[in-house]
Amino acid sequence: MKTLQVIKIGGNVVDDPAALERFLYDFSEIKGAKILIHGGGVMATQMAERLGIKTYMHKGRRITDFETLKTVTMVYAGWINKSIVATLQSKGCNAIGLSGADCNIVPATRRSPTPIDFGYVGDVNPGKIGSEELSALLERGCCPVFCAITHDGKGSLLNTNADTMASVLAIAMTGKYNVRLIFCLEKEGVLRDRNDESSILPRITEQDFTKLLEEGIIEGGMIPKLENAFAAIRNGVSEVVIKHASNLNNQRGTTLVQ
């Protein structure tokens, strides 16, 4: 089975031109099938501010009214996605920029307005990923670059969580590929001591994770990230790696395995 690397970069890397350039160079060097998923929240918040649109967040998730949907779609699917594609093309990587609406590859359902009305926010339908379409692109040597905009199939675009989108895409491709899922952050990996970037845990099983949770070593935003990652492993992804965006092609980082 061929290997497919599904790599996610967050808004902080996207927002730093030098870091992004370096990351995309590393990404372009990776041989074989690969998919990139990018965030862009920092830039979206700045653009909303310039447009006089107030940003409301609930537990780290953006409340997305229609004007905000327009803004995030412009920023994620427009400027960020196409800039990344142009940069990758200049480095010999045959990138194709996509949203989840394109070829209906990532259908989603608008989230229920209760208890919190997130507006135009969607949850991905994991069973309905267009893996055939994605395989066809990969087999032609194309490299899909996704922003986390999806649609409801009824004509509405939806703002989606990029981490979830990465996991769901990775899981959907396990039928045809040996899939590695890599989350690139501004952190070196999962740390034993959050204030010491050298205290990386190189390898964690789900059993270790439970223990680390009990010990209070893993906390905050890292918890849903790791839960999400282990769910991917339980669903057929070979390994999930959490690492600093500047370490894409070296061994540093935390590898999560079954």
CA distance 10 to 73: 16
**In whole angstroms, how close is the CB of 222 to a second copy at the nearest point?**
31
Under DSSP, is residue 21 helix (H, G, I), strand (E, B) or coil?
Answer: helix
Residues found in the chain: 258
**In whole angstroms, how close is the CB of 17 to a second copy at the nearest point?**
11
Nearer to a second copy, 137 or 226 (CB): 137
Nearer to a second copy, 139 or 196 (CB): 139
**In whole angstroms, how close is the CB of 195 to a second copy at the nearest point?**
37
**In whole angstroms, how close is the CB of 133 to a second copy at the nearest point?**
7
Nearer to a second copy, 99 or 255 (CB): 99
How many other CB atoms sit within 10 Å of the CB of residue 171? Answer: 22
- Binding site residues, a second copy, CB under 8 A: 47, 50-51, 70, 73-79, 81-83, 85-87, 89-90, 94-99, 101-104, 133, 136, 140, 142, 149, 151, 153-157
Give the long-range contacts of residues 78-83, CB within 8 A, separation 24 or more: 79/43, 80/14, 80/38, 80/40, 80/43, 80/147, 81/38, 81/145, 81/147
**In whole angstroms, how close is the CB of 27 to a second copy at the nearest point?**
14
Contact 201, 190 (CB under 8 A): yes
- The neighbouring-strand residues paired with 150 are 158
Nearer to a second copy, 101 or 184 (CB): 101
Nearer to a second copy, 62 or 187 (CB): 62
